[in-house]
Amino acid sequence: MRIMGLDYGSKTVGVAISDPLGITAQGIEIIRREKESKLRQTLARIDALIKEYEVESIVLGFPKNMNNTIGDRAEKSLAFKEMLEKRTGLEVVMWDERLTTVEANRTLMEGKVRREDRSKYVDMLAAVYILQGYLDSRSFKA
pLDDT in tens, 74-131: 899 999 999 999 999 999 999 988 767 767 767 777 777 777 777 777 788 889 999 9
Full-model pTM: 0.87
How distant, in Å, are the alpha carbons of 37, 103, 110, 119, 124 from that of 116? Answer: 26, 17, 15, 7, 16
Tell me the residue range of the domain where 63 lies: 2-141
> What is the C-alpha to C-alpha distance for residues 32 and 46, in angstroms, rounded to an integer?
12
CATH number (domain holding residue 74): 3.30.420.140
Structural domains of the chain, count: 1
